[in-house]
């Protein structure tokens, strides 16, 4: 029998990255401050996790302006959606196999 742990995605190990993906999957786009408020982390911490997800190709970044203030919004990519779903399936399978 193959080990279901292999299917768990390393990128989603972190609680913060998991939180970001969860929020982005149910919302079309979310900006930086909204994410910060939801996940309750510091700016730097959130930024580095966002960078990591972006480099993995799981989220897209759109930079825009509201008036003069920058407004950076994030949304999930197709690849991100697929990877997250596989991760959830793996979690589910693990729970089942332990029953």
Partner 1 sequence: MDSKEQNLATLNEIRQMMDRSSRFISLSGWSGIAAGTCALIGAWLAADKIGGYYRISYDTPNVCPSCLKKDLIAIAVGVFIAAFLSAALFTFIKSKKDGIAIWGLAARKLMWNTLLPMAAGAFLLLRMMELKQYELIAPASLIFYGLALVNGSKFTVGEVRFLGYAIIATGIFNLWAIGYGLACWAFGFGVLHILYGLAMWWKYERKQ
Binding site for partner 1 (CB under 8 A): 15, 18-19, 22-23, 25-27, 30, 34, 37-39, 88, 91-92, 94-95, 98
Residue with smaller CB distance to partner 1, 79 or 95: 95
The distance of closest approach from Cβ of residue 69 to partner 1 in the complex, given in angstroms and rounded to an integer, is: 17
Residue 5 CB coordination number (10 Å): 10
DSSP letters of 14-59? Answer: SHHHHHHHHHHHHSS-EEHHHHHHHHT--HHHHHHHHHHHHHTTSE
Residue with smaller CB distance to partner 1, 19 or 60: 19
Residue with smaller CB distance to partner 1, 25 or 79: 25
Ordered strands of the 59-66 beta sheet: 30-31, 69-76, 59-66
The distance of closest approach from Cβ of residue 98 to partner 1 in the complex, given in angstroms and rounded to an integer, is: 4
The distance of closest approach from Cβ of residue 94 to partner 1 in the complex, given in angstroms and rounded to an integer, is: 5
């Amino acid at each position: 029998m193959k080990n279901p742990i292999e299917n768990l995605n390393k990128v989603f190990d972190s609680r913060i990255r998991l939180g970001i993906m969860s929020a982005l999957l149910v919302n079309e786009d979310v900006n930086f401050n909204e994410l910060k408020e939801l996940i309750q982390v510091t700016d730097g911490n959130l930024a580095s996790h966002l960078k990591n997800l972006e480099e993995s190709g799981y989220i897209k970044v759109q930079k825009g302006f509201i008036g003069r203030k920058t407004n950076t919004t994030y949304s999930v990519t197709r690849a991100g959606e697929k990877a997250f779903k596989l991760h959830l399936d793996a979690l589910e399978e693990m729970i089942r196999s332990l029953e």
